[in-house]
Chain A
Amino acid sequence: MPVSEPAPAMRWLRTSRPGHVTLLAGLVAGWLLLYRINESLWEAVLFGWLGLDPQQRLSEALRFFLYDSIKIALLLSGIIFLVTVLRSYLSVERTRALLAGRREGIGNVLAGMLGVITPFCSCSAVPAFIGFLAAGIPLGVTMSFLIASPMVNEVAIGLLFSLFGWRITLIYIGSGLAIAILTGWVLGRLRLERWVESFVYETKLHGQAVESSLGLSFEQRLQMGAEEVASILQQIWPYLLIGIGVGALIHGWVPTNFFATYAGRGNPFGVLLAVGIGIPLYSNAAGVMPMVQALYEKGLPMGTVLAFMMSVVALSVPELILLRRVLQPPLLLAFFSVTGVGIVLIGYLFNALLV
């Protein structure tokens, strides 16, 4: 547990080479400066130097695209760096140890919360699933962890907070957790263990599990953060540009209140439609956020927006294919439909509650 968390940072400040401290301070200052001037910079370049007409749709869409690309890229780099460094003090092994021996109910709650903070990528879903079950953690509790992990994503938390404020962010965290906890609990009640591929329970864990981040120096953790930023940005930039591009198109051409008229609160199928479109779409929190922002701006209600976002990040075809290795079709179907129904319910609930 990161009890003495500021201590390694202080120690690092005292002992590390001055060059590294200066570099870090320079990067932080550059980040703050860019974030500050981003908006006025593009206005000056496009409407000042290039003399484009801000009333024109194309130039306004272009401004939105440039401004948003830089803004999202900056936010992402900052958030990923911070989260990676902080999370290097946690590990899946420790999470598993915390969950071992918990009963359902309290176990689901704990698994959901740990799913949010544990460093985890969907490419490790199958080994983690086997590792949890082989350690005797109930199926429903394991499912709560596996649902919460992509659903309540730390990048989405950071972006939502920067773009929409703390109220929407808390709603997102709370409802995502509720879905993960309840879905896991329901799946556990349904006694679906027989639909787990039988070899999972026969897997012998030979060897001692290695703590993935034990005994790293603070400098190594900072370096991990920087590498993670580079590797994630490299991975997601096409999704990001497509997302921002679609966002810019919506921003420029879709009339204000378009979605309020056609898919607003008055349309009982709005949320259902959004989730139906969202599930086959495969993107990540970063790619979907510019679209979310533009959809909301044009009057799509917040509940529908959240449901759309959750269905895009939490349920996808690649994940289905991965999990098929360990789950037989009936359980896979139950997992997808219970999660999907949960997302739809959350959408309607918040459309009714949020004004």
Chain B
Amino acid sequence: MDIKILGSGCKKCITLESHARQGAAELGIASSIEAVHDPVAIAGYGVMRTPALVLDGQVVVSGRVPAIEEVRALIRSASGRPS
């Protein structure tokens, strides 16, 4: 799965990135995780509040850091795997 973390590199973005990494690993889903820092690219996703989580090109969370359980659930439903 293609996972992108949008954010300026602040602490919240780093937390979100580690949540995403851990969530994907726990589910055993192969993923590429990339942090997007460029504000212009971030705006291109229609995101106006960082950090944001993008799964396979879809923005699923913006403006807050979801708990690890929530990130795991989001990754699971985006991967189409039954819970």
A contact set with B: CB distance below 8 Å: 91-93, 96, 119-121, 123-124, 126-132, 134, 199, 203-210, 212-213, 223-224, 227, 231, 234-235, 322, 325-326
Contacts and interface: CB of A to CB of B under 8 A. Distances in A.
Contacts of B43: 126-127, 129-131, 134, 203, 205
Contacts of B49: 91-92, 119-121, 124, 127-128, 212
Given A210-B59, A212-B62, A231 B46 contact: no
Given A93-B48, A123-B8, A213 B64 contact: yes
A12 to B, nearest CB: 17
B48 A207 contact: no
Interface in B6-39: 7-8, 10-12, 39
Interface residues of B, number: 27
A130 B45 CA distance: 11
Contact of A210 (B40, B42, B44, B47): B47
A231 B58 contact: no
Interface of chain A, main secondary structure: helix
22 contacts: A92-B48, A92-B63, A126-B39, A126-B43, A127-B39, A127-B42, A127-B47, A127-B48, A127-B49, A128-B49, A130-B43, A131-B47, A131-B48, A206-B45, A208-B59, A209-B48, A209-B62, A212-B62, A212-B63, A231-B11, A325-B40, A326-B40
B52 interface: yes
B66 to A, nearest CB: 9
A263 B27 CA distance: 64
A301 B45 CA distance: 47
B65 A210 contact: no
A209 B39 contact: no
Contacts of B57: 207
Contacts of B40: 126, 130, 199, 203, 325-326
Contacts of B1: none
Nearest to A123: B8
Given A91-B63, A227-B65, A325-B39, A124 B50 contact: yes
Q: Most A CB atoms within 10 A — which of B11, B46, B52, B65?
A: B46
B10 A207 contact: no
Nearest to A130: B43
Nearest to B45: A207
B48 to A, nearest CB: 4
A136 B1 CA distance: 34
Given A206-B45, A235-B11, A127 B63 contact: no
Contacts of B8: 123-124
Contacts of B68: none
B59 A213 contact: no
Given A92-B48, A119-B49, A207 B58 contact: yes
B60 interface: yes
Contacts of A209: 46-48, 59, 62
A312 to B, nearest CB: 21
Given A92-B63, A123-B10, A126-B42, 7 more contacts: A120-B49, A123-B50, A127-B39, A134-B43, A205-B46, A207-B58, A210-B52
A321 to B, nearest CB: 11
Contacts of A93: 48
Q: Most A CB atoms within 10 A — which of B10, B47, B59?
A: B47
A129 to B, nearest CB: 8
A97 to B, nearest CB: 11
Contacts of B44: 203-206
A119 B46 contact: no
A207 B63 contact: no
